[in-house]
Structure 1
Amino acid sequence: MLTSVTSSDPPTVRFTNTQDLFDAINCTIGDFLTVTNVSPSQFTEIEREREKRRRRFRFRRYDSESRILTITIPTGIHEALHLELYLRYRD
C-alpha cells in the first residue's frame, strides 16, 4: 500500500518483497518513491531484479543504516525537465 504524509511528499511503501515493490513502482503516479525496511541484501536483490527486468528506474539514495531507499522513476515530464536543464547547461 502506498502512503504519503502530505500531497507534496513522495509516496512511501514498506518493502515486503521484490514483486510487490515492482508493482508499487508501476502504480506510482509521480517520479519518486520512498521504500522503507530495505536490508542491504534486499537492496542487492532489487538491483539484480531491476537489471534482469530491464526496468527503468534509478536509485537516488540508499541508506543501509536507516534501511530507506529512494527511487527515481523517469516519467516523460521528468525526462523533459532534465533535458531542458542539460540543454541550458550545454549552451
Structure 2
Amino acid sequence: MVYVIAYLTAHAGKGDDVVALAAPLIDATRKEEGYISYDLYRKPAEPDSLVFVETWKSRAALDVHFAEPHLKTFKAAMADLLVEARVEVVHPEKIEVI
C-alpha cells in the first residue's frame, strides 16, 4: 500500500470553492481500481487549509489515478484557487514529495 497526503492552501476565502470542485473528483476517484480510501479534510480554524488523505493498493494504481481525466480537470481548476500545494506519497520505505 501507498498513502498520499496532499496539503492544499487556497487563497483567502476560496476554501469553499476548492471543496465544491473536489466533490466530483472524490466521487470519480472512489470508483477507480486500486482505491482504498480518499478523503478531504479542512482545518476548522483555517477553512482555506485542506488536506487530502488517500490510500492506494500500489504505486501503480496511484500512477493510473494521476493520469485520470477527473484529476487533470481538478488540477486545472485549482490553478487560480491555490496559494500552495504539497503532495507526499508515503511508501513503507520512503516519502516522495511531488
Does the alignment reach a TM-score above 0.5?
no
Shorter-chain TM range is 0.3 to 0.5
- TM-score calculated relative to the size of structure 1: 0.38
- The structure with the greater share of residues assigned to strand is 2
- The structure with the greater share of residues assigned to helix is 1
Higher relative contact order (CA 8 A, sep 6+): 2
| Max Rg structure | 1
- TM-score calculated relative to the size of structure 2: 0.36
